[in-house]
Chain A
Amino acid sequence: MSRVGRPAGARTGTAVAAVVLLAVLVGYPLLRLALVAADEWPGVRPAGLGEALRNTVVLAGAVTLAAVPVGVALALVLRRPDLPGRALWQAAVLLPLLVPDFVLGYSWTQAYARAGFTDTLLGVHWAGLLGPAGVWLVLVVNAAPLAYLVVAVALAARAEPDLERAARISGAGAATTAVTVTVRLALPAVAAAGVLVFVLTLGSFAIPQVLGAPAGFRTVTTQIYADLSLGGDPTSFVRAVTLAVVLVLVTAACTAPADVLLAPRLRSQRPADARPAAALPARPAVLRGQTLALGGYAGLTAGLPLAALLLASITRAVGVPPTPGNWALDHFRTVLTPRTAEALGRSLALALVAATLLVLLGGLVAVAERRRAGRTAATLTTLTLVLPGSTLAVGLLLAYGRWLSGTLTLILLAYLAKLWAVAHRPIAGALDRFPPDELRAARVSGAGALTAVRTVALPPLAPALLGAWLLCFLTALHEVTMSSLLYGPGSETLAVVVLNSQELGRIGPTAALSVVLTVLVALPAGLLWWASRRWSAPAREVPAGVG
C-alpha cells in the first residue's frame, strides 16, 4: 500500500466511524420517534398546525436574514487589531451565549417593557416586545453572537491581507473590499452560520414561549410543549412526537439543498495564507464610528438586559426598585449549597467531555462531507439540533433507556446528539480552505500522519476548533431541559439541582445561577487571555487604551 496517497484503510475507517456514530446519535433515536408517530397516530391532524408551522418557518427565515449580517458585521469590525478595547468588545458580544434563554427573555422585558428600566427612567417602553416582533428581535440578538463566532473563526483561518491590499490599491473602497474579497472568501462560513441560525431558530422554545405566548403567537415547539404538559394522555404525547417529526422533516427539506447543492459551490480553491492574519488599518474616523456603533449595539443588546439580570440576582424580590436598600444575597445562597457544588463538578466534567468529544465528532463530519457521499452527513446532524430538548430526550430514552435510563452516559449522548451540528458548522466553515495537497506534501516530505496533522492541519484550524469547543462547552454547562428529563440518582446536573429546587420560572435564583456561571467561565478565560498576552507581549505592540 502506498504511504502517500492517504491510505484507503484510514478513509474507510473515517467513513465507518461517521456512519456508526450517525446511526447511534441521530438515526436510531429519530427512528424510534418516527415509529411512535407512525404506529400510534390517532388520525387527527393537530389543530393549528398550519399556523404554527408557518410562524416557525417565517420566524426562522427572518431571524437568519437579520442575525447573519449582524454577525458578519461584528466579525469584520472586531477582527481589527487596532480597534480600541477589542478584547473587551469580543467578550461583550459573546455574553448573551452565557445566559439561559428564558432568563434572557425576562431580562429584555425588565429592560424595555412596561415598568422596565426605560419606562421608569424615560417613560418609554416597547409594547411590541411581548409579541412576534419582540420574539424576532431577541432571537436575532441571541443568534448574532453565534453567527459572529462562526464567521470570526473562519476569518482568522483564511485572512488574505495581500488580496485585500491589492483590492484597495486598485481603487476599491473599504466596503467594496470587505464585500468582494473578505466576505466572499468567508462565504462557506457565512453559509454555515446561516444554516446553524436557521435550524436553531426552528427549534427555539423558551423565547417564543415567554415573549410570544402573551400575544397568542404559537410555534411548533410551543405547541409540542403544550401537548406534553397537558395530561399523561397518550394521544397528546403522540401528537407532540408527531409535531417533532414534522419539524425534523421541515429541517431536512430546508438544509439538505443548502448542504448538497450550495456548499460545494461556495468553496474556494486557494490555499490559506500561512502568515498570521491581520486586517488592514482603518482611518481614525472610520474606527471611531465603528467603535461608537459597536458600543451602541453592545449596550442595547447585552449591556442593558444583562444589567437587568445582574440586578435581579441581587435584588431580594421581583418588582421592588433595584436600589442598594433592596439588595440581598439570598438568591446566591439558594444557588450555592453543598448539593449544588457537587452538581457543579458533575456539570463541568460533563461539559468538558461533551465539548471535547463534539470537536472530534464535528471534525469527523467536516472531513466526511468533503466527499460527495458524505454531504448528507452534515444535514443529518442538524436534525437532532432542531428537535426540542424534551423530544430529543424522549427519543434517546426510547432508544437506550432500557439500559441507560438515569445515567450520566445517557445525558452525555443527549448533549452529543443535540450539539453535533453546533460543533460541526464552525469547523466546516474553516476547513474548506485547507486543500489536502498540503497534507500530502507533508507526508511526501517524510512527516508521519500525526506530525502532518499537528504541524500542517491544526495551526490554521485552531481558532475554529477552539470556537466550536467554546460554543458546545457554554451550551452544555447550563443545559436544563434534556438533563431534567434524563437524570437519575447521582446524575443531577447543576441546572437540574438549582432550577428544580423551586418551580421553574423563579427569576432571582436563575439570574444568580447565570451570574455564577458567567464568573466561573469568565475567570479562567480572563486569566488565560492575560497569560497569553504576557507571553506574546514582546512580539506585538499593544495599542494604547486596550483593556
Chain B
Amino acid sequence: MLAACGEPTTDAGTAAQDLTLYTCLSDETVQPVIAAFEDSAPGASVDLFRAPTGELNARVAADVRSGGLRADVFWGCDPLTVQDLVDQGLVGGWTPPEADAIPAQFRTADYVGAHLLYMVAVHRTDVPAPATWADLPAAGRTVAVPDPSVAASALGALGWFAADPGYGLDFYQRLADAGAVQVRTPDEVTTGVAQGLYDLGMTTANSAYAAVDDGSPVAVAWPQPGAVAVYGPVALATASADSAVAQDFISFAVGPEGQQTIGASGSYPTRPGVTGPSVPAGAPVVHPDWTSIAADRDAVLGGYQRVFGG
C-alpha cells in the first residue's frame, strides 16, 4: 500500500524504521496504539516486549549487564520506575514538543506521562460506598489493600496518604486495627472483593470498572479527598537519542491521535480534552509528590511494614 505523501523524516535505511518498545501497559491498550502508529508512519515497525513491572525490571537489569538496554522506547506504569532508569542514565534527556500539551504534574524534562491510573475504592454492592478514604476502616467489614512493596500504584497511594496531614501512616494503622488484609496487586483486591472474600478495598479504576462491566457484584467509589493519580511515563532510551522513528513514536503516543487511541482502548489518557473511560462528574483526584516519595521510599515502606507486618 502506498501513502500519497511521504513523511519528511523518512530516509533510506529500513533498519532505522524499526524500534523496540518495552512496556508494562496491557496488550489491550498498547496493541491499538502500535497499530495506529504503524498506519500513520508507513514503513515503521514496532517490536513489542510487554511484561508485568517485576519481569520488565528484571529484563532491563539483565539487558544492562549483557550488552546494554535493547529498548529504544520505555513506557512505564509509574514515575518511580522510570525515574530510576533516568538516574542510571538509561533513558531520558528528551521529550517531544507535544509534551507541552500534557499537564505539568505528569511530566519532567526526561519523560512525559502518556496514560493514567487512578487508585479508587471498590466495594461490594451490599456495602455502602465510602464517601472519604477515612471511611474505609470500619468494624465488621474486611478491607483489602494492595502491597506497596509490590505494586508501584499502591506505593504512590501510600506516599500520598503518608504525606497528608489528615491521614499519615495513622490511616494504615487504623486499617490494620480494623482487620484489613494486604494482598499482592490491585487486581487481586478486585478479584477478592468480587469473590466475596473482602467487603471493600483499594484498587485501580481500570481493574474495578472491568469487574463492574463483566457484571461482578461490585461498585466503584472515588472517595474524598480524591482518587490517587499515578501516571505512566514514556521515555526515549539514551542509546537511541538519534532514532527518528523512536522519537516519532513518543510524539504519536502523547499527540492527539495516540491519546484518542489510548482513551478508546480503555486506559485514561493524560492529554486534557481527550475522551477516556468513565470518570464520574466532579470526581476528586489528588496527585502524589513523586520526587519526595522517591527520596523517602525506604522510610515510608519501613513505617508501613511495621504496621502491616511482613
Contacts and interface: CB of A to CB of B under 8 A. Distances in A.
Contacts of B187: 503-506
Given A500-B50, A505-B187, A229 B57 contact: yes
A113 to B, nearest CB: 6
What's the interface size class on A, roughly? 35 or more
Q: Which of B151, B188, B197 has the most CB of A within 10 A?
A: B197
Contacts of B80: 230-231
Interface in A226-258: 226, 228-234, 237, 240
A466 interface: no
Contacts of A505: 185, 187-188, 191
Interface string A305-342: 00000000000111110000010000000000000000
Interface string A114-132: 1110000000000000100
B197 A232 contact: no
Contacts of A390: 54-55, 58
Interface residues of B, number: 65
A494 to B, nearest CB: 14
A317 B84 contact: no
Interface string B275-310: 000000000000000000000010000100100111
Contacts of B217: 319-320
A214 B195 contact: no
Contact of B26 (A32, A106, A481, A501): A501
B174 interface: no
B196 A213 contact: no
Contact of B191 (A130, A232, A507): A507
A214 B62 contact: no
Interface in B80-108: 80-82, 84-85, 87-88, 90
Given A214-B181, A231-B81, A505-B185, A488 B49 contact: yes
Interface string B130-161: 00000000000000100101111001000000
B131 to A, nearest CB: 23
Contacts of A232: 57, 60-61, 81-82, 84-85, 88, 90
Interface of B: 26-28, 47-55, 57-63, 65-67, 70, 80-82, 84-85, 87-88, 90, 144, 147, 149-152, 155, 181-185, 187-188, 191, 193-197, 207, 210-211, 214-218, 297, 302, 305, 308-310
Interface of A: 32, 36, 47-48, 106, 109-110, 113-116, 130, 209-210, 213-214, 216, 218, 225-226, 228-234, 237, 240, 316-320, 326, 390-391, 393-394, 397-399, 401-402, 405-406, 481, 484-485, 487-489, 500-508
25 contacts: A47-B302, A48-B305, A115-B195, A214-B182, A216-B309, A229-B54, A229-B150, A232-B88, A234-B84, A237-B61, A316-B214, A317-B215, A320-B215, A320-B217, A390-B58, A393-B62, A394-B62, A399-B66, A405-B63, A485-B59, A488-B49, A500-B50, A504-B52, A505-B185, A505-B191
Given A319-B195, A402-B66, 9 more contacts: A113-B195, A213-B183, A228-B58, A317-B194, A405-B66, A489-B47, A501-B27, A501-B28, A504-B52
